[in-house]
Structure formats: structure tokens, C-alpha cells
Amino acid sequence: MPVPPAQKNTPVEKAFHVSWDQFHRDARALAWRLSGAMPFSGVVAITRGGLVPAAIVARELDMRIIDTFCVASYVGESVQGEIKVLKSVSPQIGQDGGEGLLVIDDLVDTGATVRAVRALLPRAHVATVYAKPLGRPLVDTFITEVSQDTWIYFPWDLGLSFQAPISQADRG
């Protein structure tokens, strides 16, 4: 299992394992909440984590214009580095500062990725499924808040395996 990266001055102490079913329910809940803010002219998925929720939200809101904003911030599995924009949105999608665009990601953590998006698309609506306290003020809509010291294990990062009962976890 990957080792969660240390946050700035915040050690990761908790784990939150999200199943496919739970993630699908949470992404649909995000779509339901966003339906009140319609209309959006298109969706921008922040890769890679935003691809799955963006697909679910686009389906639920019957949106067909989908683009990607590709970034890299982790060096390996355990060290978060600076944000590198690998691909921005197409010029016609990003015109007018992103007015009318819906930007989707799985999680806002420290907010570094959202800051990079906001620099290019300051008028876009940014939504995430999960939010941590440091990044929460930077998004317009989210579904579930988790503590800053929690590492979220998304279903696409996991395989099925035996899990020891919580009462036995410290007996290693």
C-alpha cells in the first residue's frame, strides 16, 4: 500500500478508504448540488483524479463539452512537489477567464492545484468531491470534508485484499 505524503507541518495520521460505490454516490451528490448552479458551458477535469468524478457529473448533468487540465504535483507516491501544468484547457474553452466552466477534481488538499487553475480560469466554478481545511476556501462546491491529517485512498488506487480488524491494526 502506498505511503501517504506528509503535509506541510501536518503528519498524516488517518486513512479514509473510499469504495467505488461510495465514490459514485458522492460524485452523484456533487452533481445534484451543482444542478442548482446550472447552466455550465462545459466541464474541465483536473487530471488524473478529476477524470472519474467529471465523467459522472457530466453524465448526470447531460454535459457534452469536456476538456482536461493536466497537472503533476507528486514526485513518486510520497513527496508532493510544486505544481507543473502539463496541459492547459483549449483556448476556446478557457476564453473569458473560464466564465461558465465547471472545473472538477476528486479532492482539494492544500489548494495548490486549485490555485494553478484559478490563475488561468479565475471565473470558473470549481467543485471537488472531497475537501480538506487548507483547500476548502478555494473551491465553490464540495460534498465531504475530511481532516487535513487524513489520507484518502481512492478506489482506482486500490486492489482488493484482506483488511485486518481495527482492533488488530496496532499489533503489527
Sign of CA dihedral 15, 103, 144, 155: negative
Which region among 25-29, 73-77, 115-119, 146-150 has the lowest average model confidence (pLDDT)? 73-77
Q: How far apart, in Å, do the first and last CA atoms of the chain sit?
A: 15
Active site positions, annotated: 105-106, 109
What is the Cα–Cα distance from 114 to 122, expressed in whole angstroms?
10
* Cα angle 38-23-145, degrees, rounded to a multiple of 5: 75
> What is the average pLDDT value for the chain, to the nearest integer?
86
* CATH, range 16-147: 3.40.50.2020
Determine contact, residues 33/168, Cβ cutoff 8 Å. no
**Dmax (CA) of the chain:** 56
pLDDT at 3 over 50: no
More confident call, 127 vs 8: 127
Structural domain spans, the chain: 16-147
Q: Which phi and psi (to 5°) does residue 20 adopt?
A: -60, -45
pLDDT reported for residue 75: 59
pLDDT at 74 over 50: yes
pLDDT at 171 over 80: no
pLDDT at 153 over 70: yes
Q: How many CB atoms lie within 10 A of CB 14?
A: 12
Stretch 79-104: mean pLDDT, rounded? 85
Question: Does the predicted TM-score (pTM) go above 0.85?
Answer: no
Cell for 41?
458551458
pLDDT reported for residue 169: 65
